[in-house]
Amino acid sequence: MIKVLLFDIDGVTSTYKRLTYLNYLSKLTGKPRKELIKIGSPLIQRFDAGELTLQQFEKEAARLLGVRGEEVRWRDFYAPDTALDKRVVALIRELHKKYRTACLTNMDRSRYLYTKRFLDKVPFDQRFISSYLGAAKPNLKIYRKVLGKLKVKPSEVIFVDDNETNIIAAKGLGIKAVLFRGGDRLKKDLLKSLS
């Protein structure tokens, strides 16, 4: 029996996509997006897990990319690109009448402090932010911590994320998982998983 619906934030509950930022970095450095992802992924994992402050992240990113620190501009791109997906929030409100709802997201503390004002409008019973948990998806440690804090078994949770790697990790622990393919399709996919 499903007790909790667990939603990702970036790319699911909010419309933020890192593509705009990657395009900026690609133009700045002359490196293709795939190369930037390869270079930056380990650093972003550490940042999202709370191991680095914003200043440490920007300094290290600048070093890895061969640019000046002020050119990294992480927050400049995050803030204007972030808004709630109204379709997803409406669905969460509807489902919250019957299920506990929570979020699990990879997010550094500076982004969370900015995003918190949006999240206050979403009926999440609990929020799980990677930088406060000391681990980031798809690390199994974060899913185990969340299950423990929710006091549920993996089979009692449906997790929604837009990253297939995170979905595979959750399923590996026995969590039902839905790959987010847009706000219009989410209700259909969730109802199918709930039946």
Last residue of a domain, one of 59, 80, 101: 80
C-beta neighbour count of 195 within 10 angstroms: 5
Quote the pLDDT of residue 79.
Answer: 67
**Is the same domain home to 69 and 102?**
no
DSSP 8-state symbol, 136: -
**Is the same domain home to 147 and 111?**
yes
Could you tell me which residues are beta bridge partners of residue 127?
103
pTM of this prediction exceeds 0.85: yes
Last residue of a domain, one of 48, 80, 112: 80
**Is the same domain home to 118 and 165?**
yes
Q: Which amino acid is at 47?
A: F
Q: Which of 14, 13, 29, 165 is nearest to 102 (CA)?
A: 13
Measured distance CA(154)–CA(125) in Å, rounded: 18
Last residue of a domain, one of 65, 80, 95: 80
Quote the pLDDT of residue 145.
Answer: 98
**Is the same domain home to 36 and 72?**
yes
**Is the same domain home to 177 and 145?**
yes
Could you tell me which residues are beta bridge partners of residue 7?
103, 160
Angle at 156 between CA 138 and CA 185, to 5 degrees: 70
Quote the pLDDT of residue 17.
Answer: 65
**Is the same domain home to 10 and 67?**
no
Could you tell me which residues are beta bridge partners of residue 159?
6, 177
DSSP string across 65-124: HTS-GGGT-HHHHHHHH--B-HHHHHHHHHHHTTSEEEEEE---HHHHHHHHHHHTTS--
Domain count, the chain: 2
Quote the pLDDT of residue 65.
Answer: 94
Tens-of-pLDDT digits for all 195 residues of the chain? 999 999 999 899 998 767 788 899 999 999 999 999 999 999 999 999 999 998 899 999 999 999 998 888 877 776 666 789 999 999 999 999 999 999 999 999 988 988 888 899 999 999 999 999 999 999 999 999 999 999 999 999 999 999 999 999 999 999 999 999 998 899 999 999 998
Quote the pLDDT of residue 69.
Answer: 85
**Is the same domain home to 91 and 156?**
yes
CATH number of domain containing 170: 3.40.50.1000
Sheet containing 157-161: order of strands: 126-129, 100-105, 4-7, 157-161, 176-179
Structure tokens, 179? 């790959």
Query: What residues contact 70, with CB distance under 8 A and at least 6 apart?
Result: none
**Is the same domain home to 33 and 98?**
no
Q: Which domain holds residue 41?
A: 19-80
**Is the same domain home to 87 and 74?**
no
**Is the same domain home to 97 and 26?**
no
DSSP 8-state symbol, 14: B
Backbone φ and ψ of 85, nearest 5°: -85, 105
Q: Which amino acid is at 85?
A: D
**Is the same domain home to 88 and 160?**
yes
